Amino acid sequence: MHDERRRIEERVERVHNQRIKPAIYSATVPFEVEAWQAPGEPVSFEEAAAARYTPFAMDTPWGPPWGTTWFRMRGRVPAEWAGRRVEAVIDLGFVGDWPGNQAEALVHLPDGRPLKAVNPLNQYVPIGNPVAGGEEIDYLVEAASNPDILADNFSRTTPLGDILTAGDKPLYTFQRADIAVLDEEVWHLDLDIQVLRELMVHLGEHEPRRHEIMHALDRAMDALDLDDVSGSAAAVREVLAPVLARPAHASAHTISGVGHAHIDSAWLWPIRETKRKTSRTFSNVTSLADEYDDFIFACSQAQQYEWVRDNYPHVWARIQESVKKGQWAPVGGMWVEADGNLPGGEAIARQLVHGKRFFIEHFGVETKGVWLPDSFGYTAAYPQLAKLAGNEWFLTQKISWNQTNKFPHHTFWWEGIDGTRIFTHFPPVDTYNARFSGEEMDRAVRNYSEKGGGTRSLAPFGWGDGGGGPTREIMERARRLADLEGSPKVVVEHPDEFFAQAREEYPDAPVWVGELYLELHRATYTSQARTKQGNRRSEHRLREAELWATTAALHAPGYSYPYEKLDRLWKTVLLHQFHDILPGSSIAWVHREAEAEYARVAEELEALTAEAVAALGAGGTRVFNTSPFDRAEVVRTAAGTPAYVEVPAGGSAPLTDAEPAQPVRVLGHVLDNGLVRVEVAQDGTLSSVFDVRARREVLGDKGNLLRLHTDLPNYWDAWDIDKHYKNRYTDLLEPTSIEVVSEDPLLGAIRVTRSFGKGSTITQTITLRADSPRIDFETEIDWHEAEKILKAAFPVDVRAAHSSAEIQFGHIQRPTHTNTSWEAARFEVSGHRWVHVGEPGYGVAVLNDSTYGHDVSRTVRDDGGTTTTVRLSLVRAPRIPDPEADQGKHRFTYSLLPGASIEDTVAEGYSLNLPLRVADAAGAPEPVVSVDGHGVTVEAVKLADDGSGDVVVRLYESGGGRAQGVLRTGFPLAGAQVTDLLERPLEETAEVCDGGVPVSLRPFQVLTLRLRRG
């Protein structure tokens, strides 16, 4: 047989695109359209309905950036269309096929009920199937003219990312607003050909099935009357029916399709626009559920449900009905799909608590899995926290983006730092926005790494990132692919069903131990430093407010625990941990608002804490310690003078004039407190840090070396830092001034000021306090660089085989060598309050109060010794998507802690992030809880969420070993119960002995105790 592939494939492509697709709508009549431009921010339907509209013609530009234009569309279905399937078809001037980052609209009936959204590949609104003919159609359409921030593929900066800089030039040209007859036979023919063409081109040329489909398509084209596509469509479909009816092979891979609409809670649009995106997408989804009984939609992020509940009650009611019918599946059980690395341990716990509770309360559904397809890597603390929240499975997709190494599994057991394992799946289709294209189906089968062990994978399908969701065309593809030779079998089902079947068939799946590190988007640990600082400060202020509110509730008559305020503030912080806000990868508008929200949160939490402390009584000055460790340190009084105090963990003590054992001496540019001696060189770096106790020099080279690197990644500016950044740099070695600013015996300080680059300045106050080996670098930067990253280096004279970085409820060890491509790819990593490096018998820690990104490397010196260098990533200057990212003022502190064990480091990390509070107060009660024994660390103290008055305490083992201790209370204790994160009883028991609760923890175990008051 002659090879006619090219002729046939080109013939089918042309006829399909130029004849069949244009015939899908067989008749149209235009709407009469009027328009009203809403001033400023979006308005309510009631305000829009009462506005004065003016005539509007097609092909007219409309829509300033971030504007809202309301269109009134009126028309009549022609009487002669009776018995036909009729739809409204609206094209706002869509650009491309992605619905997320351009014009979008929600269509309403005159009474305000939302019907459905329109976006590029979902332009229809059902009118009737069939219609009676003569129906009057009246719509009010809320159209958002969101700008395309992705224009030019992120290759240049744009002012469109903030309404303050975007201008007012119209962005779109309205193309179409019609009432149209959908020719169902032609529409189905279009889908038949789509599925077969895509299957054909992704089958191997040696496959008989490819040639069978090709010749069937050729015969189908012969059967098509080009002058009467509608009249001949049925005959063409008959020609194709046999090849569509051929069943899949018995061994064909099974793809569990789950409807999905990934909606970033903010990214290339502000939070206010996400609220509208949820209404549009969820309207589409509930409308699709009415059309397809076999449709199932999985949706995460309780925050987005709450927005719809509060702003779109009609859509909310439709969601509730879909959940009852089993077509809508709440998943994920988190408040938002948070970043997987940066939120603190207690914050991840609260993400799970607030998310799961919302779904239980409003739908009677307890979600079973963590649904995080798009976060930028995942902490090794997740398996334990997920299981403690009652989850059975974990899903993500993002690790498929790895830059260097292909992750070896798609279905596996993930083991966390404490030994907890959770069943985990990465969809081999490599997208969370699947459309069941031939390319995707082929990729899923080729990629699937569990062949021979498992037979199934999951594919979230539907338009996403900016929402949109599944379409009827995708559902039709799924139906055709349910059992089709040459293709994997597609079944639309609930993700719980997929995970149950996958686990049953593959119970001995391989195990991956430790973090799921994404070899990409490493700059998200650093970009938008003020947003990250707002998160860190908020997390610690929430801890502080809860502790002292609990103390006041137990001991201050008349004080009322602020349940509702704390709940609202927690949810605000959790929202901003979304995986494009906290990582710093959103437009300017998002981060401008985030900084304002963090300032408001700080103000409210300060007021709540002050109120709680004041409720404990006035008459004296006391110092309050929110840290879980006893502290003896220097604190600044309200007058700004230093004082030395000793304060128990979680308690308070009077402000006294105690004398430290080791006061500070300042000799020129040397700080010495008998524990460490710090010498500041003429270039502003540390020339020596001598540990007096260990009689050894700490540094292997210049300490606190500030290095300014050129930082232009290959792509994704705000997200990425590529290894070549290391190759060009400037060391900041020419200070403008070095001066002693404090010679107090309690606190010695030297200030170093530098100017550099494009008008940037950095002022650092190097501080040593009495009785403490910790050296603080209080830093103020006025930053005006572009495409740069500033690092602070501490080369220490230890031969460290690995570094230890704090993560949620523990720490993770990473090799300092680059023996394999896996280690080499970790050239920038994340951590929380500290990084520790050490050799047997000696360690050094670098602490911070708001920095997450760092790198650790080591070199061998000429003298044979090893220098291990820890470098903190202080601030970046990406220009896309926010051209002004990180510009301006930054204030933060980082510290060097010589001679530190892991236990010392954990304690000092808390101390740096939880400053002592000096307040007017009388005698205070005993700490709410205290622990006898090492390694048992208190992370949270609060009243139970159910209002019972029980005290809830969250503990964890912080050193990486086994820990035993006794939890004691500062109130009469009647009983104790081990609970899950949602404060529900577990089978594990907790006994009260001699007024305390004995505690035994495995390495990094998290334990939640509910304490009943006597």
Q: What are 418-443's pLDDT values in tens digits?
A: 999 999 999 999 999 999 999 999 99
Count of C-beta atoms within a 10 Å radius of residue 764: 23
Establish whether 374 is a catalytic residue: yes
Asked if 958 contacts 810 with a C-beta cutoff of 8 angstroms, the reply is yes
Q: pLDDT tens digits, residue range 945-976?
A: 999 999 999 999 999 999 999 999 999 999 99
- With 0-12 / 13-18 / 19 or more C-beta atoms within 10 angstroms meaning exposed / middle / buried, residue 507 is exposed
How far apart (Å, rounded) are the C-alpha atoms in residues 437 and 426?
19
Please report the pLDDT score of residue 921 as a whole number.
86
Question: Backbone phi, then psi, for 960, in 5-degree steps?
Answer: 95, 10
- pTM for the whole structure: 0.97
- Judged against a pLDDT cut of 90, whether residue 3 lies above it is answered with no
Q: With CA atoms as reference, report the closest residue to 60 among 145, 179, 129.
A: 145
Please report the pLDDT score of residue 274 as a whole number.
98
**Of the given ranges (302-306, 525-529, 931-935), which has the lowest mean pLDDT?**
931-935
Asked if 202 contacts 481 with a C-beta cutoff of 8 angstroms, the reply is no
Please report the pLDDT score of residue 307 as a whole number.
98
From 374, 720, 904, 950, active-site residue: 374
The average pLDDT across 981-1007 equals: 95
- Judged against a pLDDT cut of 70, whether residue 84 lies above it is answered with yes
- Judged against a pLDDT cut of 80, whether residue 383 lies above it is answered with yes
> Angle CA(704)–CA(708)–CA(712) in degrees, nearest 5?
140
Sign for the pseudo-dihedral over CA of 586, 591, 597, 603: positive
How does residue 155 score in pLDDT terms, banded at 50, 70 and 90? confident
Sign for the pseudo-dihedral over CA of 94, 95, 96, 99: negative
User: What strands, in cross-sheet order, belong to the sheet with 929-932?
Assistant: 929-932, 963-969, 996-1001
The average pLDDT across 451-476 equals: 97
Helix (H, G, I), strand (E, B) or coil at 554: helix
How far apart (Å, rounded) are the C-alpha atoms in residues 142 and 382?
41
- With 0-12 / 13-18 / 19 or more C-beta atoms within 10 angstroms meaning exposed / middle / buried, residue 52 is exposed
Question: Please, what is the angle between helix 271-291 and helix 302-311, to 10°?
Answer: 90
Q: Mean pLDDT, the chain, as a whole number?
A: 97
Count of C-beta atoms within a 10 Å radius of residue 859: 12
Q: With CA atoms as reference, report the closest residue to 462 among 107, 122, 94, 115.
A: 122
Q: Cα Rg for the chain, rounded, in angstroms?
A: 31
Question: Backbone phi, then psi, for 538, in 5-degree steps?
Answer: -65, -45
Helix (H, G, I), strand (E, B) or coil at 77: coil
Asked if 1011 contacts 973 with a C-beta cutoff of 8 angstroms, the reply is yes
Q: How far is CA 218 from CA 12, 94, 181, 392, in A?
A: 7, 33, 28, 50
Strand-pair category, 421-425 with 393-395 = parallel
How does residue 530 score in pLDDT terms, banded at 50, 70 and 90? very high
Asked if 459 contacts 436 with a C-beta cutoff of 8 angstroms, the reply is yes
Please report the pLDDT score of residue 922 as a whole number.
78
Question: Backbone phi, then psi, for 668, in 5-degree steps?
Answer: 65, -125
The enclosing H or E element of 115 equals strand 114-118
How far apart (Å, rounded) are the C-alpha atoms in residues 134 and 511?
64
Please report the pLDDT score of residue 656 as a whole number.
85
- Judged against a pLDDT cut of 80, whether residue 649 lies above it is answered with yes
How does residue 638 score in pLDDT terms, banded at 50, 70 and 90? confident
Q: pLDDT tens digits, residue range 239-277?
A: 999 999 999 999 999 999 999 999 999 999 999 999 999
The average pLDDT across 635-648 equals: 90
Of all residues in the chain, what percent carry a pLDDT higher than 70?
100
Count of C-beta atoms within a 10 Å radius of residue 135: 17
Q: With CA atoms as reference, report the closest residue to 794 among 703, 899, 680.
A: 703
Please report the pLDDT score of residue 331 as a whole number.
98
Sign for the pseudo-dihedral over CA of 317, 323, 326, 328: positive
Please report the pLDDT score of residue 924 as a whole number.
77
Of all residues in the chain, what percent carry a pLDDT higher than 90?
95
Q: pLDDT tens digits, residue range 562-617?
A: 999 999 999 999 999 999 999 999 999 999 999 999 999 999 999 999 999 999 98
- Residue 620 DSSP label: S
Please report the pLDDT score of residue 1 as a whole number.
66
Q: pLDDT tens digits, residue range 781-810?
A: 999 999 999 999 999 999 999 999 999 999
Please report the pLDDT score of residue 411 as a whole number.
98
- Judged against a pLDDT cut of 80, whether residue 190 lies above it is answered with yes
Please report the pLDDT score of residue 703 as a whole number.
98
Q: How many residues does the chain have?
A: 1014
Q: End-to-end alpha-carbon separation of the chain, Å?
A: 91
Please report the pLDDT score of residue 619 as a whole number.
83
Please report the pLDDT score of residue 154 as a whole number.
84
- Judged against a pLDDT cut of 90, whether residue 94 lies above it is answered with yes
Structure tokens belonging to residue 101: 């980052």
